[in-house]
């Protein structure tokens, strides 16, 4: 192989892969992006309900989860600070972003995910060709099934039997979440075949299933709650854990939206703690207990409010909760017809617990089909945090969801994709 003439090959045209292509294309070698599907950036298009939550308005390394070194994670994120990423989208790519004040999320001002994808890649008949204009070529329908070292470079093997020469390779294939978009774990298998040891993967940011038949009747009801997780053991470190480094298990309060579904529970509050539930199930650990505080009132506030209440409880509860939830909680505590002025102390305590410390009867999760992210993957210790070059297979760079790190709902995982894509792409063609 004439390594000096071979292109930088980027495998995967998702968020991380397209960002890698933009930065790799600034270097001396040509850049070829291989995408297995016929449609690049599918997760970009479906994210945020078709609006694409490009970034969070603020972020810190402590917001993220990794099974490895939090210091390595922080170093990676510091390499391209959030303010600079936002500036790149708005000034370099020409995608103005708008803050959604109630959530702290940044969306394209156009409210269209297509705007983001158009700015990152060549879209026929749309005129915006950031990747192509910078010297990168995207080849669709080119599914990669293997990599092999060839001299100082690589041979990239396609499902068709064709091989492509590469001087260096950026692996940006994503994980296993939302397989309908083409995420089939190919990159994880390739990394493992090259000698990487993987943190076992599992779905994260995933809806949970429930066991209470009455809850299915609430499907579609949503509200803001505070969700607390109490676990006997914790097996994750970093953000979204009770406290950093605390593996003993302690309350984890998360404030956010909660949605009843036909199968169980979703919404940002549920998704942001789901990895703890899934992780415990995967490791056959003691199952964590989830408690819901249904509104801003905690146990002390509810106790005080109920003490001075008169008449039936439902009118009072309707001031704070959707009526269907209030009615269900009263039915479950057998207090539907009780006058608050005559409410015994023990019954008041039961009602307070139902309102502010309700045990959520979860049974499992909905899996990769609807999970927003894949937890686990290639350990951060197996890449150089400054370049994301593999320590196991030099000349191979890894980015995005393949790496063992993820963040909460709200643009954090796009931030991780943009930052790691930029680092890997720029370093691969330096």
**Domains (range + CATH), the chain:** 3-202+377-428 (3.50.50.60), 208-365 (no CATH)
What number of other Cβ atoms are within 10 A of residue 62's Cβ?
14
Q: Order of strands, edge to edge, in the sheet holding 396-398?
A: 136-140, 31-35, 8-11, 168-171, 396-398
Find out whether 105 and 410 touch, Cβ atoms under 8 Å. Answer: yes
297 phi and psi, to 5 degrees? -75, 125
Q: How far apart are alpha carbons 280 and 286 in whole angstroms?
A: 7
**What does the angle CA 192 – CA 369 – CA 401 come to, to the nearest 5 degrees?**
40
Which residue, among 285, 275, 192, has the nearest Cα to 236 in the 3D structure? 275
pLDDT value of residue 285:
76
Residue 3 clears pLDDT 50, i.e. is over it = yes
What number of other Cβ atoms are within 10 A of residue 322's Cβ?
17
pLDDT value of residue 251:
52
Average pLDDT, the chain: 91
| More confident position, 246 or 182 | 182
Q: How far apart are alpha carbons 170 and 309 in whole angstroms?
A: 64
Q: How far apart are alpha carbons 320 and 241 in whole angstroms?
A: 29
pLDDT value of residue 127:
31
Give 147: exposed, middle or buried? Use CB within 10 Å, 0-12, 13-18, 19+.
buried
Chain segment 153-173, per-residue pLDDT in tens? 999 999 999 999 999 999 999
pLDDT value of residue 136:
87
Strand pairing partners for 107? Answer: 98
pLDDT value of residue 121:
81
Chain segment 30-61, per-residue pLDDT in tens? 999 999 999 999 999 999 999 999 999 999 99
pLDDT value of residue 241:
42
Residue 233 clears pLDDT 50, i.e. is over it = no
pLDDT value of residue 132:
54
How confident is the model over 326-338, as a mean pLDDT?
97
**Percent of the chain at pLDDT exceeding 90:** 86
Chain segment 234-292, per-residue pLDDT in tens? 434 344 443 232 333 345 799 999 999 999 999 999 999 999 999 888 877 788 999 99
Residue 174 clears pLDDT 50, i.e. is over it = yes
Alpha-carbon distance values, 316 to 292, 296, 346, 383, 387 (Å): 19, 14, 19, 57, 58
pLDDT value of residue 231:
74
pLDDT value of residue 5:
81
How confident is the model over 182-199, as a mean pLDDT?
95
Give 235: exposed, middle or buried? Use CB within 10 Å, 0-12, 13-18, 19+.
middle
The confidence band for 129, taking pLDDT boundaries of 50, 70 and 90, is very low
Chain segment 130-142, per-residue pLDDT in tens? 555 557 899 999 9
pLDDT value of residue 411:
97
Written as six digits, the tokens of 376 are 């686990």
Residue 13 clears pLDDT 70, i.e. is over it = yes
pLDDT value of residue 134:
58
pTM of the model: 0.91
pLDDT value of residue 122:
52
How confident is the model over 210-225, as a mean pLDDT?
96
Give 148: exposed, middle or buried? Use CB within 10 Å, 0-12, 13-18, 19+.
exposed
Q: How far apart are alpha carbons 19 and 13 in whole angstroms?
A: 9
Chain segment 60-116, per-residue pLDDT in tens? 999 999 999 999 999 999 999 999 999 999 999 999 999 999 999 999 999 999 999
Chain segment 362-372, per-residue pLDDT in tens? 999 999 999 99
How confident is the model over 4-22, as a mean pLDDT?
94
The DSSP 8-state label assigned to residue 144 in this structure reads E
Neighbouring residues of 312: CB distance < 8 A, sequence distance ≥ 6: 336, 337, 338, 339, 340
pLDDT value of residue 287:
87
Neighbouring residues of 46: CB distance < 8 A, sequence distance ≥ 6: 113, 178, 181
pLDDT value of residue 337:
95
163 phi and psi, to 5 degrees? -120, 145
pLDDT value of residue 131:
59
């Amino acid at each position: 192989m004439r390594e000096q003439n071979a292109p930088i090959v980027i495998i995967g045209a998702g968020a991380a892969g397209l960002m890698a292509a933009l930065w790799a294309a600034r270097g001396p070698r040509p850049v070829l992006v291989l995408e297995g599907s016929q449609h690049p950036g599918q997760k970009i298009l479906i994210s945020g309900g078709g609006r694409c939550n490009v970034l969070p308005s603020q972020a810190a390394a402590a917001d993220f989860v990794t099974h490895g070194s939090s210091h390595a994670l922080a170093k990676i994120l510091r390499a391209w600070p959030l303010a600079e990423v936002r500036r790149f989208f708005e000034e370099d790519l020409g995608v103005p972003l708008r803050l959604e004040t109630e959530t702290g999320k940044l969306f394209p001002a156009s409210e269209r995910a297509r705007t983001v994808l158009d700015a990152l890649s060549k879209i026929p008949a749309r005129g915006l060709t950031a990747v192509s204009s910078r010297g990168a070529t995207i080849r669709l329908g080119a599914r990669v099934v293997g990599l092999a070292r060839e001299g100082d470079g690589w041979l990239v093997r396609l499902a068709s039997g064709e091989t492509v020469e590469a001087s260096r390779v950026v692996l940006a294939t994503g994980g296993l979440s939302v397989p309908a978009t083409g995420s089939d774990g190919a990159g994880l298998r390739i990394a493992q075949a090259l000698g990487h040891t993987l943190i076992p993967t599992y779905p994260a940011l995933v809806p949970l299933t429930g066991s209470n038949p009455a809850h299915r009747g609430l499907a579609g009801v949503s509200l803001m709650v505070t969700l607390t997780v109490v676990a006997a053991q914790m097996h994750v470190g970093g953000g979204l854990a009770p406290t950093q480094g605390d593996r003993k298990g302690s309350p984890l309060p998360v404030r956010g939206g909660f949605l009843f579904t036909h199968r169980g529970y979703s919404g940002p509050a549920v998704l942001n703690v789901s990895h703890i539930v899934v992780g415990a199930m995967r490791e056959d650990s003691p199952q964590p207990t989830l408690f819901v505080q249904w509104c801003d009132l905690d146990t002390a506030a509810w106790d005080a409010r109920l003490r001075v209440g008169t008449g039936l409880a439902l009118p009072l509860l309707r001031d704070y909760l959707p009526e269907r939830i209030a009615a269900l909680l009263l039915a479950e505590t057998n207090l539907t017809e009780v006058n608050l002025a005559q409410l015994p102390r023990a019954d008041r305590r039961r009602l307070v617990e139902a309102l502010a410390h309700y045990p959520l009867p979860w049974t499992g999760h909905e899996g990769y089909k609807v999970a927003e992210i894949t937890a686990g993957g290639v350990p951060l210790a197996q890449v150089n945090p400054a370049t994301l070059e593999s320590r196991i297979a030099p000349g191979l760079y890894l980015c995005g969801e393949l790496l063992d790190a993820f963040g909460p709902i709200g643009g954090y995982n796009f931030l991780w994709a943009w930052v790691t894509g930029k680092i890997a792409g720029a370093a691969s063609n330096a």
